[in-house]
Amino acid sequence: MVESGTTEKLLLIWTLEALMDAVLPYRAMAYNNGWANHRLLAACVRLSQAEFVAARTGFFPSLRATLNHILIVDRFYVDAMEGGTLGPAAWANPEPCETAISLRDAQREADQRLIAVVERLGMAELDRVVDIHRGDRIQRERIDRLLLHLFQHQIHHRGQAHAMLSATDVRPPQLDEFFSVGEAPLRATEFAELGWTEDTVWAS
């Protein structure tokens, strides 16, 4: 017979493991998002400033405008998930970063904040409601839905930046695959640059 105290401990362990399993896809997406930004911006810093700001076809009129949009929207939502009230002030300046280098550094900081938010979800709840300050109102969304929205937003606009980059002399990096096991050696250098290992992403 299993003692009641032992049963309670086992239930707690199972509950925690189930929660971590539920969080893992969000963690993996947050890391993949940071890695994709790292890859894309590593290519963009090889452009001249003239190429970076040149008019191109897309939802936003240049690589600089497109990548800055990703950044400011990240700041807006990450701040909300952190419990902040930044709100529309996030896009008071639609292009806060003039150069690809400054944008790379700012985006890396935003990516690290997003990863930290997801890492903390192990002791939180995926259905936690986030207050999103929109100036004239407060929008309330579950954090799991908000994360999925933000990942989709990033993928959408990175794709546009990727297409713009293909019109330059700098070859666009491959961004259409996830963290497959067989390709781990191909991203090892980039992971080292980011201070990550495969266990950083997948270890529970």
Q: Are the beta carbons of 127 and 144 closer than 8 angstroms? A: yes
- Report the CATH number at residue 125: 1.20.120.450
Please write down the HEC assignment for all residues of 45-93.
CCCCHHHHHCCCCCCCCCHHHHHHHHHHHHHHHHHHHCCCCCHHHHHCC
Number of domains in the chain: 1
Q: What pLDDT does 203 receive?
A: 79
Q: How far apart are CA 183 and CA 172, in angstroms?
A: 18
Segment 30-43 mean pLDDT: 97
Kindly report the pTM of this predicted structure: 0.88
Q: What pLDDT does 45 receive?
A: 98
Q: How far apart are CA 118 and CA 23, in angstroms?
A: 8
Q: What pLDDT does 44 receive?
A: 98
Q: What pLDDT does 20 receive?
A: 57
Count the Cβ atoms, other than its own, within 10 Å of residue 90: 21
Q: Are the beta carbons of 42 and 104 closer than 8 angstroms? A: yes
**Structural domain span for residue 42:** 4-202
The Cα-based distances of 193 to 31, 93, 199 in angstroms read: 13, 29, 15
| pLDDT tens digit sequence for 53-109 | 999 998 999 999 999 999 999 999 999 999 999 999 999 999 999 999 999 999 999
| pLDDT tens digit sequence for 156-168 | 999 999 999 999 9
Segment 144-151 mean pLDDT: 97
